[in-house]
Chain A
């Protein structure tokens, strides 16, 4: 069974750093792109970027380029999303999702990680 399990909720202060994780299982982790999607409170879905764990090839949405870093450790089947200096506007639910090998859709999703940034 394909599963993406994300790390737990985080509460941080502005200016702090953070790295959240997404662990894949039940499939060949290195053979599928993993994407990250933001959902701000009460809002819609926004695509942030994508990584191919096999070789760490990473692409970012222009809206998020330079704001976050996406990485992966294929030895432990885990993808990451990190911030070096959080802002209150980073408060959101963040989802990882597996990109289908057949086309541009996301066929399996993590449960989400809620990040709250507040002073």
Chain B
């Protein structure tokens, strides 16, 4: 089974800061890595798919990069509405498996 290690588990930053979250896969997953945002009491929301593609309607301050085993999610300038928990998610097709990272809780300093 592929394991996903996401870090940090929590993060405190100021409005306007650049924020970076990393996700490491236990083996090569190519670019099969997605990022979600979950605000308190809400369902997850897709932000980035296939490592670096911004979902329609998502602000351009969110970005993703990486391939193979190491991936990065970045918020270029943190906004108050970005307070949430962020999850990476890898997928494989044969057989279909989807594994989420442990999550990163982002707070405003």
Contacts and interface: CB of A to CB of B under 8 A. Distances in A.
Q: Is the interface of A mostly helix, strand, loop or mixed?
A: strand
Contacts of A112: 43
B45 A109 contact: yes
B71 to A, nearest CB: 14
Contacts, number: 58
Interface in B23-64: 32, 34, 36, 38, 43-46, 49-50, 55
A59 B99 contact: no
Question: Size band of the B side of the interface?
Answer: 20 to 34
Q: Taking each of B38, B43, B103, which has the highest tally of chain A beta carbons within 10 Å of its own beta carbon? A: B43
A105 B102 contact: no
Interface of A: 35, 37, 44-47, 50, 59, 61, 95, 97, 100, 102-107, 109-112
